[in-house]
């Protein structure tokens, strides 16, 4: 690739990366707003989270189109192609995280409209949401800085989120066992907690792709590598 084409390729990649970080920031705010709406019961805030999902989807479509055009025009190979492929996966994880935030808002709205308050709005849900949002933010930071060590930390943080989800699950099972009238409401809250936990999984996926971009090592379904391969 000539110097001119290489510079143009880098500019287009930088534009795509900037768009990803904008999309990520939007999803972060969407998730935080969904958790807050669950806690406060504000139906209008829940609807805003649901409406924001269309904007997240629009980002995904635009970035996917940009990646497709980049491949068609520049025909990247080796490390550059690896980068574009990983970007596509990262965008998918961000879009699915936005879907989870919308699901939290939808389930919260359903609970609010049902009017039942036999199960308290657990503070642990807010804590779980904070953990997931921190993971997502850290994953995006590792992408912005291409920081493998930071990406590894995100992957390691997933256990704390899983533990928090399991604690919520045990608490809600106790409610259901003690009072069967709480079953429907408790199950809805479990689905909300599970959606939060899945955001953490998507954040970990993003971190894995950062490692892949930088090192060329695919760490999906494995432990993060102790050291990187030489760049292609």
Predicted pLDDT of residue 158: 95
- What mean pLDDT is reported for the chain? 88
Average pLDDT over residues 73-102: 90
**Could you give the CA distance from residue 177 to residue 168 in angstroms, rounded to a whole number?**
14
**Could you give the CA distance from residue 192 to residue 186 in angstroms, rounded to a whole number?**
10
Average pLDDT over residues 212-221: 83
Give the residue from 65, 63, 83 showing the smallest Cα distance to 20. 63
Predicted pLDDT of residue 143: 94
The share of the chain scoring above pLDDT 70, in percent, equals 91
**Could you give the CA distance from residue 206 to residue 30 in angstroms, rounded to a whole number?**
18
pLDDT higher than 70, residue 223: no
Predicted pLDDT of residue 230: 34
**In terms of pLDDT, which residue wins out, 149 or 124?**
149
**In terms of pLDDT, which residue wins out, 11 or 51?**
51
Average pLDDT over residues 120-127: 80
pLDDT higher than 50, residue 229: no
The tens digit of pLDDT for each residue in 151-161 reads 999 999 999 99
Q: Band of the pLDDT at 177, cuts 50, 70, 90?
A: very high
pLDDT higher than 60, residue 231: no
Helices 78-114 and 3-40 pack at an angle, to 10 degrees, of 20
**In terms of pLDDT, which residue wins out, 227 or 100?**
100
pLDDT higher than 50, residue 232: no
Predicted pLDDT of residue 226: 43
> Which residue bears the tokens 């099972």?
173
**In terms of pLDDT, which residue wins out, 216 or 84?**
84
pLDDT higher than 80, residue 29: yes
pLDDT higher than 60, residue 228: no
Predicted TM-score (pTM) of this structure: 0.88
DSSP 95-140: HHHHHHHHHHHHHHHHHHHH---SS---HHHHHHHHHHHHHHHHHH
pLDDT higher than 70, residue 225: no
CB of 58 closer than 8 Å to CB of 23: no
């Amino acid at each position: 690739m000539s110097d001119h084409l290489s510079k143009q390729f880098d500019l287009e990649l930088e534009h795509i990366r900037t768009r990803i970080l904008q999309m990520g920031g939007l999803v972060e705010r969407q998730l935080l707003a969904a958790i807050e709406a669950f806690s406060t019961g504000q139906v209008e805030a829940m609807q805003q989270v649901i409406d924001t999902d269309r904007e997240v989807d629009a980002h995904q479509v635009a970035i996917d189109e940009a990646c497709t055009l980049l491949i068609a025009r520049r025909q990247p190979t080796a490390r550059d192609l690896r980068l574009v492929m990983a970007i596509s996966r990262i965008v998918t994880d961000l879009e699915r995280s936005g879907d989870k935030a919308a699901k939290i808002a939808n389930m919260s709205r359903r609970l609010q409209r049902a009017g039942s308050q036999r199960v308290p709005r657990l503070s642990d849900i807010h804590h779980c949401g904070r953990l997931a949002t921190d993971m997502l933010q850290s994953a995006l930071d590792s992408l912005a800085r291409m920081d493998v060590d930071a990406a590894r930390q995100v992957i390691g943080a997933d256990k704390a989120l899983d533990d928090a989800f399991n604690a919520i699950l045990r608490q809600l099972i106790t409610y259901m066992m003690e009072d069967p009238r709480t079953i429907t409401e408790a199950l809805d809250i479990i689905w909300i907690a599970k959606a939060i936990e899945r955001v953490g999984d998507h954040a970990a996926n993003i971190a894995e792709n950062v490692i892949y971009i930088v090192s060329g090592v695919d760490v999906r379904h494995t432990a993060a590598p102790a050291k990187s391969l030489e760049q292609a």
